[in-house]
Amino acid sequence: MFRSHTCGELRIENVNSEVTLAGWVQTVRKFGSITFLDLRDRYGITQVVINEQLNDQLNENPLGREFVLQVKGKVIERSNKNPAMDTGDIEIEVKEFSILNKSAVPPFTIQDDTDGGDDIRMKYRFLDLRRNAVKKNLELRYAVNRSTRNYLHEKGFMDIETPFLIKSTPEGARDFVVPSRMNQGQFYALPQSPQTFKQLLMVSGYDRYYQIVKCFRDEDLRADRQPEFTQIDCEMSFVEQEDILNMFEGLIKQIFKDVKGIDYTDKVERMTWEDAMWQYGNDKPDIRFGMKICTIKKPESVYATKSDQNELIADAGFVVFDSAESVLAIPVQGGAAFTRKQLDELTEWVKRPQIGMKGLAYIRYNEDGSLKSSIDKFYAEDRLKQIAEAAGAKQGDIVMILAGAEERTRKATSELRLELGEQLGLRKKEELKLLWVLDFPLFEYSEDDNRWVARHHPFTSPKPDQIKTMIDNNPKIIDAANYLSHPYAQIKANAYDMVLNGNEIGGGSIRIYQRELQEKMFSALGMSDEEALHKFGFLLGAFEYGAPPHGGIAFGFDRLCSILGGSESIRDFIAFPKNNSGRDVMLDAPSSIDDIQLKELSIDIKKKE
Tell which positions 68-97 bind its own copies, by CB under 8 A. 68
Q: From the list 49, 93, 114, 124, which residue makes contact with its own copies (rule: CB under 8 A)? A: 124
Residues in the chain, overall count: 609
Select 113 or 220, whichever has its Cβ closest to its own copies.
Answer: 220
- Based on the shown chain and the rule CB under 8 A, indicate whether residue 162 belongs to the binding site for its own copies: yes
Q: Which of 595, 555, 489, 456 is nearest to 210 (CA)?
A: 555
Q: From the list 190, 336, 387, 563, which residue makes contact with its own copies (rule: CB under 8 A)? A: 190
- Based on the shown chain and the rule CB under 8 A, indicate whether residue 429 belongs to the binding site for its own copies: no
Select 273 or 557, whichever has its Cβ closest to its own copies.
Answer: 557
Number of chain residues interacting with its own copies (CB under 8 A)? 120
Of 74-82, 416-424, 482-490, 572-580, which segment contacts its own copies by CB under 8 A? 572-580
- Based on the shown chain and the rule CB under 8 A, indicate whether residue 171 belongs to the binding site for its own copies: no
Q: Kindly state the DSSP code that residue 589 receives in the 8-state scheme.
A: B
- Based on the shown chain and the rule CB under 8 A, indicate whether residue 184 belongs to the binding site for its own copies: yes
> What gap in Å lies between CA 144 and CA 252, rounded to an integer?
10
Of 111-119, 307-315, 446-454, 538-546, which segment contacts its own copies by CB under 8 A? 538-546
- Based on the shown chain and the rule CB under 8 A, indicate whether residue 139 belongs to the binding site for its own copies: yes
Of 9-17, 289-297, 381-389, 541-549, which segment contacts its own copies by CB under 8 A? 541-549
Give every CB contact of residue 516 below 8 A, 6+ residues apart in sequence: 471
CB of 272 to its own copies, least distance (A): 23
Which value, to the nearest 10 degrees, does the dihedral of the CA atoms of residues 74, 79, 81, 87 take?
A: 0
Order of strands across the sheet with 434-438? Answer: 158-159, 208-216, 228-237, 550-556, 503-510, 495-500, 434-438, 269-272
Q: From the list 239, 355, 401, 491, which residue makes contact with its own copies (rule: CB under 8 A)? A: 239
Of 113-121, 215-223, 341-349, 370-378, which segment contacts its own copies by CB under 8 A? 215-223
Per the rule left: phi > 0, alpha: psi between -120 and 50, beta: everything else, 571 is alpha
Within 469-498, the residues that bind its own copies by CB under 8 A are none
- The answer to whether residues 538 and 196 touch, using CB atoms and an 8 Å cutoff, is yes
Of 76-84, 118-126, 458-466, 470-478, which segment contacts its own copies by CB under 8 A? 118-126
- Based on the shown chain and the rule CB under 8 A, indicate whether residue 175 belongs to the binding site for its own copies: yes
- Based on the shown chain and the rule CB under 8 A, indicate whether residue 376 belongs to the binding site for its own copies: no
Q: From the list 55, 82, 114, 168, which residue makes contact with its own copies (rule: CB under 8 A)? A: 168
Q: Which of 23, 25, 2, 7 is nearest to 104 (CA)?
A: 25
> What gap in Å lies between CA 573 and CA 567, rounded to an integer?
9
CB of 447 to its own copies, least distance (A): 20
CB of 352 to its own copies, least distance (A): 28
The per-residue DSSP string of 112-156 comes to: TT-S--HHHHHHTHHHHTTSHHHHHHHHHHHHHHHHHHHHHHHTT
> What gap in Å lies between CA 474 and CA 477, rounded to an integer?
8
Residue 197's CB is within 10 A of a number of other CB atoms, namely 22
- Based on the shown chain and the rule CB under 8 A, indicate whether residue 578 belongs to the binding site for its own copies: yes
CB of 578 to its own copies, least distance (A): 7
CB of 231 to its own copies, least distance (A): 12
600 sits in which H/E element:
helix 595-601
CB of 527 to its own copies, least distance (A): 13
- Based on the shown chain and the rule CB under 8 A, indicate whether residue 146 belongs to the binding site for its own copies: yes
Q: Which of 496, 305, 322, 297 is nearest to 410 (CA)?
A: 297
- Based on the shown chain and the rule CB under 8 A, indicate whether residue 204 belongs to the binding site for its own copies: yes
Select 174 or 455, whichever has its Cβ closest to its own copies.
Answer: 174
Q: From the list 72, 174, 427, 451, which residue makes contact with its own copies (rule: CB under 8 A)? A: 174
Q: Is the dihedral of CA 283, 286, 292, 294 positive or negative?
A: negative
Q: Which of 283, 337, 318, 300 is nearest to 401 (CA)?
A: 318
Per the rule left: phi > 0, alpha: psi between -120 and 50, beta: everything else, 446 is beta
- Based on the shown chain and the rule CB under 8 A, indicate whether residue 584 belongs to the binding site for its own copies: yes
CB of 183 to its own copies, least distance (A): 5
- Based on the shown chain and the rule CB under 8 A, indicate whether residue 41 belongs to the binding site for its own copies: yes
Give every CB contact of residue 87 below 8 A, 6+ residues apart in sequence: 7, 8, 9, 10, 11, 44, 45, 46, 47
- Based on the shown chain and the rule CB under 8 A, indicate whether residue 538 belongs to the binding site for its own copies: yes
Give every CB contact of residue 89 below 8 A, 6+ residues apart in sequence: 11, 12, 77, 78, 81
- Based on the shown chain and the rule CB under 8 A, indicate whether residue 223 belongs to the binding site for its own copies: no
Q: Kindly state the DSSP code that residue 487 receives in the 8-state scheme.
A: G
Of 139-147, 276-284, 371-379, 478-486, which segment contacts its own copies by CB under 8 A? 139-147
- Based on the shown chain and the rule CB under 8 A, indicate whether residue 222 belongs to the binding site for its own copies: no
Within 47-66, the residues that bind its own copies by CB under 8 A are 66
- Based on the shown chain and the rule CB under 8 A, indicate whether residue 111 belongs to the binding site for its own copies: no
